[in-house]
Amino acid sequence: MATNEPNNPPHWTLDGFRLGAWTILPLMPGLFAFGLAFGTVAARKGFSLLDALMMSGTVYAGVAQLVVLETWPEKLTLPVIGGIVLVTALISSRFLLIGASLRPWLGSQPASKIYPALFLLVEPNWLMSMRYRTNGGSDPAYLLGGGVVIYGVWLLATAAGFWLGTSIGDPHTFGIDMVMPAFFTAMLISMWRGARGSVGMIVGGAVAIAIDFIFGGLWYLVVGALAGSVAGGFIDDRQ
């Protein structure tokens, strides 16, 4: 892996930005479908287009947005709002580790450049940037370029999904409600590391299903995530 010496910090260039924006494009059809699903559910839940766009533009947490909307109550109370904040924080806590993995690359950069890029940090541009970095790339603008494209596509897809949701009413008509399950199924397949390496995933999923069946609500997310994390923590992957 390439390293950056303190006396030779990486430089942000327009070429790096363009490269990041260009290489992320093949992943955009899947992301667009994901955004369509969110916009459709938002319309079904009675959100206005402005509400949906504001949520996508400020929260910018696709998975958390969909999960929260699926159980959106008719009336918001302080306990309900607290639960929504907690669920969003739990689902998005993975970015603590994702962001930490970028510190060796971005740690020496000024905050005025780092934090806008980190706001636009999601799994696709993180994965592409890590591969770019492993192959010897050093321009942080690569991360930013991919992030800008993803952000724009996410907002566009939200608006398109909202229009579709108000047109068809029920997303089940075209199977749009299956986008999120299909997306996560594909992610799980790509993350499978054999039975031993995937114990956390297996335990977390089994516990989440059981909790959802018994209690319902959003507790399955919290309990399933904790159970999977604890189980995975006991697995020693060292050879």
Low-confidence ranges of the chain (pLDDT < 70): 1-9, 167-193, 195-197, 217-218, 221, 236-239
Cα separation values, 25 from 30, 63, 125, 183, 231, Å: 10, 20, 10, 17, 36
* pLDDT, position 48: 93
pLDDT at residue 3, rounded to an integer: 44
Q: Given this model, what pLDDT does residue 236 score?
A: 55
Question: What 3-state class would DSSP assign to 29?
Answer: helix
pLDDT of residue 99: 87
Q: Are 33 and 179 in contact (CB under 8 A)?
A: yes
Whole-number pLDDT of residue 1: 43
